[in-house]
Amino acid sequence: MFRRPLLRAMLIAAVLATAVTGAARADDAALDKNQKALAEVRSRIGDLQQKVEADQNEHDALAREMQTVERKIASATQAIRSIQRKLDEQQRKMRDTQADQKEALAALDAGRAGLARQIRAAYVLGRQGETQLLLNVDNAQTVGRMLTYYDYLQKAQLAAIAAIRAHAQELDELADRLQEQQSQLEQLRKDQQQTLSDLKDQRAQRADVLQQLKARLSGETDNLAQLKEDERNIRELIESLKKTLADLPPDVSPSDKPFATLKGKLPWPVRGALLAHYGEAKAGGRLSWNGHWIAAGDGAAVHAVAHGRVVYVGWMHRYGLIVLLEHEDGYFSLYGHCQTATVQVGDSVRAGQTIAGAGTTGGYDQSGVYFEIRKGADAIDPDRWLAH
């Protein structure tokens, strides 16, 4: 009579178990597929990046030296931030240890006070032993009560002494831990000072190279040639990326709005004064800006203007360190003069996510970010896309 319900329950359990296992396998398969796709993107773009940077630096020793110095500065800047995070964490640990010390000391004081009370209570009973107490009491009920109390007092004293020893040992261990944490903190501070010193030297070296670059580009012809070469390099990079990634699906989710529908709604990558804007003349009026150059403090967070995929992170002459995002339908957004990048090739980013720190890379004195939007390789006016 109970066999059918039991059999039905067993069948349902088996089906559910199979479904859960199948779902888990499907999730694992999807994760594996995504990881393989990410590895493929990074591999393809890595090869392309090596070629691009090699081509740029082949005939330009100064640009090569500037790039090397700016890489060192970026690395040192990231190291300083990392050390600062470790310092903050170490100081938090020390505060926690000091709080534990305070609690352990309070517990030790409480234990000592409790033991003192027990000793006074024992003294009240008299300095006679257990046998003498029995001889001095006539009532059997009183004798039993006295023995119980005497036994309790002995056990309480032993427990109090054990607790005091444990708290004392804990205090010793906490003192050792605090000393070790203090040593680590001092070492981190030494590392920070050394890295800051290295950074100062690297910035001085960069200033020297920058003066040489400015001297070389002081002639209008040389400057114009460099600017034209930079634009050609960017166009070639984007065309190469389009070919490299042509067979890979765009990195979008169903909730993402198509990039083309975001015209006039995009957030600014940073907030600051416009140092140069799209269409403004440069190089004596023979060229014009292809994007906005926006002032921002050194290291200020640079945000992605829309969801997309990181397809390039690298140095490119006067653009400095750039982060290039691919969006749907052939749109790209470019962020130049970055001090550091916080993303890597293949990463998916969401609108508003920090992707870099503003800087002066590319040989500039003014800190900020250079921002472009491109449809394919062609630059388009970002002012029509950014929210106002």
The answer to whether 311 and 328 have CB atoms below 8 angstroms apart is no
Are residue 132 and residue 204 in the same domain, yes or no?
Answer: yes
Q: Is residue 153 part of a domain?
A: yes
41 in any annotated domain: no
Domain boundary among 212, 233, 263: 212
66: phi > 0 → left, psi -120 to 50 → alpha, else beta; which?
A: alpha
The closest alpha carbon to 202, from 313, 74, 317, belongs to 74
93 lies in which domain range? 85-212
Let me know if 379 is exposed, middle or buried by CB neighbors in 10 A (0-12, 13-18, 19+).
buried
Closest CA to 161 of 104, 123, 124, 114: 114
Domain membership of residue 40 (yes or no) is no
Res 1: pLDDT: 46
Q: What is the pLDDT of residue 349?
A: 94
Is residue 196 in some structural domain?
yes
Q: Which two structure tokens, joined as six digits, stand for 79? A: 């190291």
Last residue within a domain, chosen from 176, 194, 212: 212
Return left, alpha or beta for 346; rule: phi > 0 is left, psi -120 to 50 is alpha, else beta. Answer: left
Q: What is the pLDDT of residue 68?
A: 76
pTM equals: 0.56
The count of structural domains within the chain is: 2
Please check whether residue 280 lies inside any domain of the structure: yes
Q: How far is CA 377 from the centre of its chain?
A: 32
Phi, psi of 236 (to 5 degrees): -65, -35
**What's residue 154's pLDDT?**
67
- Average pLDDT by stretches of 10, the chain with 388 residues: 53 56 53 57 62 56 72 80 84 82 77 72 57 53 59 68 76 81 83 81 76 60 66 84 73 76 95 93 78 94 95 86 92 94 91 94 89 93 94
Quote the DSSP letter at residue 245. Answer: T
| CA distance linking residue 344 with residue 270, whole number of Å | 20
Q: How far apart are CA 244 and CA 232, in angstroms?
A: 18
What pLDDT does 226 receive?
Answer: 67
Distance between CA atoms of 77 and 35, rounded to whole angstroms? 30
